Structure 1
Amino acid sequence: MGSLHDQLTLLQDLKVTVHHSCLVFPSQQTQKKTVFLSNIDQVLNFDVQTVHFFGAHKDFPESQIVAEKVKDALAKILVPYDFLAGRLKLNPNTSRLEIDCNAAGAGFVVASSEYGLDEIGDLVYPNSAFAQLVCTAMDSRILNPAAGDDQPLFILQVTTFKCGGFAMGISNNHATFDGLSFRLFLDNLAAVAANKPLVAIPYNDRHILAARSPPHAPFLHPELQELKNMSTLDDLNPTVFEATQEELDFNIFRLTATDVARLKDKAKSTTASSSFNVVTALIWRCKALSSSSSSDDDEDVNYKRAASSSSSSRESRILYAVDIRPRLKPPLPKAYTGNAVLTAYASAKCRELEEVPFSRMVEMVSEGATRMTDEYARSVIDWGELHKGFPHGEVLVSSWWRLGFADVEYPWGKPRYSCPVVYHRKDIILLFPEQRDMHEYSSSASTTSTTTMAGRAGAAGVNILVALPHKEMQKFQALFHKFLLDD
């Protein structure tokens, strides 16, 4: 119950050799234009790296076959997704970021590892060495001087393993996609690679999320923090939270489907106790009460000391993303390609989080999402027009749990696992799905029964990635197991 992944001896060097790097251009001529970026897109000017691992497939026995297939599919997908071949620029007249659709190209890298896929360790456990499977910047010698030598917004690296499996590492600027639109992009990339029609035609016009004229923000927004004197491109490059220089412990806390059901039962609520809400409430309580302002040298940290060491009068604010596509009036097109998630929040004093019933914590988390109406979302967007800022809170829960990246069906099968590359931030907690069973991603996965797949999808557990300083991690772990086992 609520097991903790064992600390593993991780490979520090995957012995990756880069064989070829180039720019890939749209396979057809695309229109030269400028893509408007919404106020949600504006504050997400940072790169996101994801890795998608695939086992060997009998129809793709040679590594270069997969690489060429991916490269060809990338060139074709850059036609409907023309902005991915463009470059980010700052409009001097509006001081806003835009994408110049100049067909300057996306990055493509071919590499290999000296290891087999089964030799690199547990794919679920965070390994900073996975960064070797993603290219974050192209060699300046292959960039187009006409585009100002600006780096591509999208780079894809194919790294083959000696077993025949491979990894598809993607680095893209967050301004291009949110998690849901990235999932649709992957579905479309897989369809193009299989010579099939697009799953859905991307909706690329982001004016649909432009601020009102004049902008009007009638709500208070404690979940947002105003920035001052933003006048250069560097000033417009905020991250959600700054990376910390502290030494951090990385742990994966695993909740089985039974654990999640137990949390729902403890919540005793029929309206608020979704899987996400109960898991987020558990995380919030543990994170808030493990953040101590005092110095505790006792290594044997138990539940009572962990709770009492917190500053009970301190306010804790948890943030989490809410998809606004269905909440707006009218709803956004499902194939909208930009960022259409906003930060919901819940706030409470640490004393309250220590004392209130778990059901009340779940309700507070639920209220944050309920607050995200059409009018509230428009207020957030207009607030960004008036003030410029980014999400502000004690902890952000970033959920990859239900995005389904590992459900994308490529010609070479579904991924064995898909995950972001670990980054050094202690105030962002990530939720991941479980790793697939071997038969679900093997070349015979197509024979897996629909009943089996549906059963797993409906009963899946979750992996919770937490990065904290050592003493805070001890407290978090003690609280996590105490609250989970408490009746």
Structure 2
Amino acid sequence: MGTTLYQTKTPNIIQDLKVTIHDTITIIPPHPTENRSMFLSNIDQVLNFNVETVHFFVSNPQFPPELVAEKLKSALSKALVPYDFLAGRLRLNPDSKRLEFDCNGAGVQFVVGSSEFELGEIVDLVYPNPGFRQLVQKSYDDVAMHDRPLCIFQLTSFKCGGFAIGVATNHATFDGLSFKKFLENLASLAADKPLATVPCNDRHLLAARSPPQIQFDHPELLKIPAGVDLPNPTVFDSPEGQLDFKIFNLTSNDIAHLKKKAKDGPYSPNAKITGFNVVAAHVWRCKALSSGSEYDPERVSTVLYAVDIRSRLNIPSSLVGNAVLSAYASAHCKEIEEAPLVKLVELVTEGAKRITAEYAQSVIDWGEVNKGFPNGEFLISSWWRLGFADVAYPWGKPRYSCPVVFHRKDIILLFPDIVGASNDNEVNVLVALPSKEMEKFEALFHKLLA
């Protein structure tokens, strides 16, 4: 198979992009908006941390970075009317003890910077370069929560005329799907066009029932004992110690091979053989069998992965916020090692099918009763088909869009390849593990792909 590896120590990576910040301004709505408090769902409540993305654009003589900056400022200001909460601040309601948005029109931050390099000199935009952190303004962690901007844009120009737009948003504002729609709306406003999608801001659509009705067991959720604070970030603690990381590129041929391998195995009527499901099954097997210092066939391995619940709950696809839950698949390591690929695909398929409307509502109600967060051996975080690089701005589509990566042992990231960011059949798998576990994972990745 044609699997490509980007090694931990990659030559030709410029880690210091020599970015100078020239200006920082506050963007506010073009006219006063209603001062109100905005309800946040139980899913939003546990996502009080920042998500950072960078969107790279090649030079366009009709849209030099200075003009792009002005158009972005204007579009952002207009967007703060339908997305009024984005100009607000996060606060803890003293009565309910819940987080909420204070829609007070305080504004979002807009930062202008420049790099001493040309975009072409960075060479590899896919590689999770630590230098990309210079392209996203930090989130004022030293500022009190109720004064901290929920959204920060940074436009960094390169010497060639290309530029990067870095965006930092509090995760409580958007999930991946609603952030994509926000970018599409921003692109439309920058082109002096109407909104592409009118956002639905009613997060009460994901409110718990009264009284709560927890109808299912939820092993994918871990309850926090009373008096213990939630970790931050709340999904997994950052690991201690040194991690190696590698990117495994799965070509369309690799994925077609995995699909064929699943189809040629024993018949499994409940297995939905999709690109994501076969990749998730393959990654799960490699991760489960490489974890720990010694192999334990009786150990249970649980993989988590996101499922959008908008259609399951029959709520608008335009709903802004977090409408995603963690599906899970579990099995003993002995089964994961010995079962045909199609069996693991079946378990991944069933994990997603498990999240019916009733199950999703039970999860939301669980969050009303308990403090807790997702519970599994690791999480597959997929940016593969979010399509950020498909957003058409007046100055063109991004050359590449990517998250700013912080390497964590218990999160494996899927994201598209730069050659065809809209090519659904190619994916990069970013893995961060201690060196001995990485050796096992890499060997299994190749062996099981053969």
Range class of TM-score, shorter chain = over 0.9
Quote how far apart the aligned CAs of 1:334 are: 1.0
**Following the alignment from structure 2 to structure 1, what is the Cα–Cα distance between the partners of residues 40 and 225?**
20
**TM-score, normalization by structure 2:** 0.95
Q: Give the aligned partner of residue 399 of structure 1.
A: 382
Q: Give the aligned partner of residue 52 of structure 1.
A: 55
Q: What is the letter of the counterpart of residue 240 of structure 2? A: Q
| Superposed CA offset, 1:102-141 (max 9, x none) | 001111100000011111131111111100000123598x
Alignment gaps of 5+ in structure 2: none
Q: What is the letter of the counterpart of residue 303 of structure 2? A: I
Q: Please state whether the residue corresponding to 1:244 is helix, strand or coil.
A: coil
Contact 2:27 2:108 in 1 (8 A): yes
| Superposed CA offset, 1:224-277 (max 9, x none) | 01113368xx75854211111221111110111111111111111675111100
Contact 1:42 1:236 in 2 (8 A): no
Q: Give the aligned partner of residue 186 of structure 1.
A: 183
Quote how far apart the aligned CAs of 1:436 are: 3.6
Q: Give the aligned partner of residue 249 of structure 2.
A: 254
**Following the alignment from structure 1 to structure 2, what is the Cα–Cα distance between the partners of residues 230 and 33?**
31
Q: Give the aligned partner of residue 299 of structure 1.
A: none
| Superposed CA offset, 1:272-298 (max 9, x none) | 11110000000000001111234xxxx
**Following the alignment from structure 1 to structure 2, what is the Cα–Cα distance between the partners of residues 93 and 229?**
18
**Following the alignment from structure 2 to structure 1, what is the Cα–Cα distance between the partners of residues 98 and 171?**
16
Contact 2:178 2:321 in 1 (8 A): yes
Contact 1:155 1:170 in 2 (8 A): yes
| Superposed CA offset, 1:139-194 (max 9, x none) | 98xx9xxx986110100000000011000000000000000000000000000000
**Following the alignment from structure 2 to structure 1, what is the Cα–Cα distance between the partners of residues 231 and 104?**
22
Q: Of 54, 65, 68, which residue of structure 1 is paired with 2:67?
A: 65
Q: Of 192, 195, 206, which residue of structure 2 is paired with 1:195?
A: 192
Q: Please state whether the residue corresponding to 1:83 is helix, strand or coil.
A: helix
Check if 1:169 corresponds to 2:170: no
Q: Of 202, 208, 212, which residue of structure 1 is paired with 2:209?
A: 212
**Following the alignment from structure 1 to structure 2, what is the Cα–Cα distance between the partners of residues 185 and 377?**
25
Q: Give the aligned partner of residue 434 of structure 1.
A: 417
| Count of residues in correspondence between the two structures | 442
Alignment gaps of 5+ in structure 1: 295-309, 441-455
**Of 267-276 and 428-437, the range deviating more from structure 2:** 267-276
Contact 1:107 1:138 in 2 (8 A): no
Q: Give the aligned partner of residue 5 of structure 2.
A: 4
| Superposed CA offset, 1:195-222 (max 9, x none) | 0110111000100100001001110000
Q: Give the aligned partner of residue 279 of structure 1.
A: 279
Q: Please state whether the residue corresponding to 1:383 is helix, strand or coil.
A: helix
**Pairwise mapping of residues 82-231 of structure 1 onto structure 2 (< 5 A)?**
82-138=84-140, 150-229=147-226
Contact 2:231 2:237 in 1 (8 A): no
Report the RMSD for the aligned CA atoms in angstroms. Answer: 1.8
Contact 1:293 1:311 in 2 (8 A): no
Check if 1:475 corresponds to 2:440: yes
Q: Give the aligned partner of residue 445 of structure 1.
A: none
Q: What is the letter of the counterpart of residue 418 of structure 1? A: S
Quote how far apart the aligned CAs of 1:2 are: 2.0
**Following the alignment from structure 2 to structure 1, what is the Cα–Cα distance between the partners of residues 296 and 241?**
21
Distance 1:60-1:368 versus aligned 2 partners, 3 A rule: same
**Following the alignment from structure 1 to structure 2, what is the Cα–Cα distance between the partners of residues 431 and 27?**
38
**TM-score, normalization by structure 1:** 0.88
Q: Give the aligned partner of residue 446 of structure 1.
A: none
**Following the alignment from structure 2 to structure 1, what is the Cα–Cα distance between the partners of residues 128 and 436?**
20
Q: What is the letter of the counterpart of residue 162 of structure 2? A: G
Q: Please state whether the residue corresponding to 2:99 is helix, strand or coil.
A: strand
Contact 2:4 2:249 in 1 (8 A): yes
Q: What is the letter of the counterpart of residue 280 of structure 2? A: T
Contact 1:45 1:236 in 2 (8 A): no
Q: Give the aligned partner of residue 334 of structure 1.
A: 317
Q: Give the aligned partner of residue 74 of structure 1.
A: 76
Contact 1:135 1:156 in 2 (8 A): yes
Q: Give the aligned partner of residue 450 of structure 1.
A: none
**Following the alignment from structure 1 to structure 2, what is the Cα–Cα distance between the partners of residues 230 and 211?**
23
**Following the alignment from structure 2 to structure 1, what is the Cα–Cα distance between the partners of residues 15 and 53?**
18
Q: Of 15, 26, 36, which residue of structure 1 is paired with 2:29?
A: 26
**Of 13-22 and 120-129, the range deviating more from structure 2:** 120-129
Contact 2:230 2:372 in 1 (8 A): no
Contact 2:188 2:393 in 1 (8 A): yes
Q: Of 340, 343, 350, which residue of structure 2 is paired with 1:367?
A: 350
**Following the alignment from structure 2 to structure 1, what is the Cα–Cα distance between the partners of residues 108 and 141?**
13
Contact 1:159 1:167 in 2 (8 A): yes
Contact 1:326 1:332 in 2 (8 A): yes
Q: Please state whether the residue corresponding to 1:411 is helix, strand or coil.
A: coil
Check if 1:244 corresponds to 2:239: yes
Q: What is the letter of the counterpart of residue 409 of structure 2? A: K
